[in-house]
Amino acid sequence: MKNQNTIYVIGAGAIGKALAVFLKMAGRQVILLRGSVDDGTTETSKIRVEMENDVHEADIEITTLGAFKTLNGIVVLANKSYGNEHLAAALKSKVGASPIVLLQNGLGVEKPFMIDDFPEVHRCVLFVTCQSINATMLRFRPVAICPIGIVKGNANTLQHIVRELTTQHFVFASEEHIQQIIWKKAIVNSVFNSVCPLLEIDNGIFHRNANALNIARRVIAECTLIAREKGILIYAEDVEESLLKISRSSDGQLISTLQDILKKRRTEIDTLNFEIVRIAESVHNVEAVTETKLLGELTKLKADVAQDSGQAS
């Protein structure tokens, strides 16, 4: 049985692998769990993380939930958010009092864990970009410190989480007003994860192309209006500044939704554009998010077509 200082990272995609490597390099006890496969198999892989001119690597134990009866430590979710309902059911009997930390983008991704009354639920907003090169190599770029805030829990646990997860290259900080940041990032991601896949272009398009930036501004204006109607005070100018910062820092990299479409996989657009549309419907103002909705529909259609072509082949 692992001790209570173990960090379990669920989701063996680019973010999960990068986090696991940096934690292992910092001397933490970390186990990487596959989010979509649960057959109890275990292997150790040498994972390499490329950062500008440096390459960091570590041997990472990769296994599945079926290998554990309990998860005593910190449980970090880096899996795709559409798997959260299933994952909440699988984790309910395993985590006990262990805190859950969600590294996922989008709005409402914590709902299944709140419905199932998990004792400690925390949300993190990632300000890094990460892209898989192959199964054991990825490219990682930090943009800013990643804030973590309480959805359900206490400040002492939050401070413990921040201390345990923070490493030299992947830095976290506690944040009292996490909902504003969640909304701000969700709006930014609603732009990146629709416009970039539809154009089949990298993240740098918004700082390079005025027409793309104008589309982004219209979506940001729609979404910040809905945020304010829900009592989340954020400003379009601040969201645009964040979008441009990410665009410049990740110039040349592909957003996760485009990566998913190219690999003929399901995307997370449902917790971005479509969740904002659902919230707009709840405040009886769905007509205010017409472009946000259209971009989401086109992105979903593109993903569905790609998946259908993959199944046909």
Instruction: Single out the residue of 101, 97, 77 nearest to residue 87, CA to CA.
Output: 77
Instruction: Output the average pLDDT for the chain.
Output: 94
Phi first, then psi, for residue 151 (nearest 5°) are -95, -45
pLDDT, tens digit, for every residue of 187-243?
Answer: 999 999 999 999 999 999 999 999 999 999 999 999 999 999 999 999 999 999 999
Co-location of 135 and 230 in the same domain: no
pLDDT, tens digit, for every residue of 276-289?
Answer: 999 999 999 999 99
Instruction: Single out the residue of 182, 175, 187 nearest to residue 224, CA to CA.
Output: 187
Q: Which domain holds residue 282?
A: 179-312
Co-location of 158 and 194 in the same domain: no
Instruction: Single out the residue of 245, 226, 238, 232 nearest to residue 289, CA to CA.
Output: 226
Co-location of 189 and 207 in the same domain: yes
* Bigger pLDDT: 222 vs 249: 222
Residue 293 included in any domain:
yes
Co-location of 289 and 143 in the same domain: no
What would the two tokens of residue 35 be?
């989010």
Co-location of 50 and 87 in the same domain: yes
Total domains in the fold of the chain: 2
Co-location of 277 and 290 in the same domain: yes
Residue 302 included in any domain:
yes
Instruction: Single out the residue of 16, 35, 5, 11 nearest to residue 170, CA to CA.
Output: 16
Q: Mean of the pLDDT values across residues 96-125? A: 96
Q: Domain boundary residue among 176, 205, 234?
A: 176
Co-location of 11 and 136 in the same domain: yes
Residue 1 included in any domain:
no
pTM of the model: 0.90
- The CATH number of whichever domain residue 77 belongs to comes to 3.40.50.720
Burial annotation 206-217 (CB, 10 A radius, 16+ → b, else e): bbeeeebbebbb
Q: Domain boundary residue among 176, 197, 220?
A: 176
Co-location of 150 and 10 in the same domain: yes
Co-location of 222 and 249 in the same domain: yes
Q: Domain boundary residue among 119, 148, 176?
A: 176
